[in-house]
Amino acid sequence: MARSDSRPQRLYILTGEPSGEAHAARVVERIRDRWPEVDVRGMGGEAMEAQGVDLVEHVSNTAIMGFAEVVAKLGFIRTLMARVKADILAFRPDRILIVDYPGFNLRMARWAREQGFPVDMYIGPQVWAWKRRRIHAMARDLDRLSVILPFEKAAYAGVDLDVDFVGHPLLDVPPLPPVDESAARQWREARTLPLDRPLLALLPGSRPQEIRRMLPVFLEAARSLPDHVPVVAGAPGRAQADYETDLPVLFGDTADLYRYAAVGLVTSGTATLEAALAGLPQVVAYRTSAITYALARAFSRVQFISLVNLILDREAVPERIQGRCTPEVLARTLQSILTPEGQRAQKEQHAQLRAALGSAGAADQVAQSLMRTLGE
């Protein structure tokens, strides 16, 4: 291991899905700005690769969600874990950062602690919702935890773990300028989108099984709003072939789609928060396998699934889940938030959400924490 009076020279970063990978890439970017000599390796995607991270596995292969789906890929997960362990032992990092993806990453943290590697975590598991028993294992296996939601730190009160609330990483993204009609028109023209009707943004998720389950429901709901142009947001790490539709699928354009769309249908996840911070009125929808939903209902301790609603502790944006996630219900709910009253209500909620999230600078705080003197 490195000397106790030195800063890390080798970092290993483990992510497992596109949203966490994007946040990890911003941390690497901040490290590169101040400590360009640091060698970084791990699991990630294009954003981390663009920051010079050598990848041992791509998140397009690891974004798995749901009990049934995980069981189906247990063989792949075991093989991946063994491969990553071998890679870490060969690389000998000074510090490991795990980002979200707790089912895999917390197991890796336990192994890493046994091997003598210090481990930090950025974006912890939802212990305030379920699996609270993880707290004690995290205190044992982690050196530091950086949380991103204002109510999370309280969940770790009473355990011997250094927990910092760093603010939400989405606040690190520079705010976009107000919508300019000329720029909006040019953006549509460049993507051959009709100019005479409002846009309906469809975000069916980032994992293949989510897309297969949610996209048909979204497409059917969109048919009930013929005065809107439905546009699908292609997720990072996915390809056109993942979307079985003749509708436009835009890759790398999600931030602009939030700005220029009139309303959105959003699968639960980080996208609900991104859309709200961008000011997009939305309906949050989610449907999973019966067994996954039954397990979630049995063990979850929260009332909502949308991050917006969890942070504000009320149904600030409509949620339509499982049996209520039907094309007919989604279409009616979209129509209700397109009314002047619905638009005003969502704008008020967006302002309150931004105030609740704190200030920007999460990636910089995590970068500085990672580069603290070894042995500190």
Q: How many domains does the chain have?
A: 2
Are 161 and 21 part of one and the same domain? yes
Q: What is the DSSP string of 41-97?
A: EEEE-HHHHHTTPEEEEEGGGT---SHHHHHHTHHHHHHHHHHHHHHHHHH--SEEE
Residue 320 CB burial class (10 angstroms; 0-12, 13-18, ≥19): buried
Are 136 and 239 part of one and the same domain? no
Are 29 and 156 part of one and the same domain? yes
| pLDDT tens figures, 270-285 | 899 999 999 999 999 9
Determine if residue 81 is left, alpha or beta; phi over 0 gives left, psi from -120 to 50 gives alpha, anything else beta. Answer: alpha
For residue 1, tell me if it sits in a domain: no
Are 291 and 160 part of one and the same domain? no
For residue 4, tell me if it sits in a domain: no
Is the per-residue pLDDT at 127 higher than 90?
A: no
Lowest-pLDDT range of 18-22, 52-56, 105-109, 217-221: 18-22
Rounded Cα gap, residues 350 and 312, in angstroms: 10
Rounded Cα gap, residues 170 and 97, in angstroms: 19
pLDDT more than 90, % of the chain:
71
Are 71 and 136 part of one and the same domain? yes
Are 288 and 148 part of one and the same domain? no
Are 54 and 137 part of one and the same domain? yes
Residue 211 CB burial class (10 angstroms; 0-12, 13-18, ≥19): buried
Are 227 and 269 part of one and the same domain? yes
Provide the residue range defining the domain that includes 30: 10-167+361-370
Residue 237 CB burial class (10 angstroms; 0-12, 13-18, ≥19): buried
| pLDDT tens figures, 63-108 | 665 555 566 677 788 999 999 999 999 999 999 999 999 989 999 9
| pLDDT tens figures, 213-263 | 999 999 999 999 999 999 999 998 789 999 999 999 999 999 999 999 999
For residue 122, tell me if it sits in a domain: yes
Q: How confident is the model at residue 5 (pLDDT cuts 50, 70, 90)?
A: low
Are 295 and 366 part of one and the same domain? no
CATH number of the domain at 285, please: 3.40.50.2000
Are 155 and 295 part of one and the same domain? no
For residue 173, tell me if it sits in a domain: no
Are 120 and 222 part of one and the same domain? no
Rounded Cα gap, residues 256 and 187, in angstroms: 9
Q: Which amino acid is at 78?
A: R
The Cβ of residue 195 has, within 10 Å, a number of other Cβ atoms equal to 9
CB 128 within 8 A of CB 151: yes
Are 145 and 197 part of one and the same domain? no
List Cα–Cα distances, 164 to 59, 135, 149, 250, in angstroms.
Answer: 26, 15, 10, 36
Highest mean pLDDT among 37-46, 58-67, 145-154, 353-362: 37-46
For residue 376, tell me if it sits in a domain: no
For residue 2, tell me if it sits in a domain: no
| pLDDT tens figures, 154-207 | 999 989 999 999 999 988 877 777 888 999 999 999 999 999 999 999 999 988
For residue 54, tell me if it sits in a domain: yes
For residue 288, tell me if it sits in a domain: yes
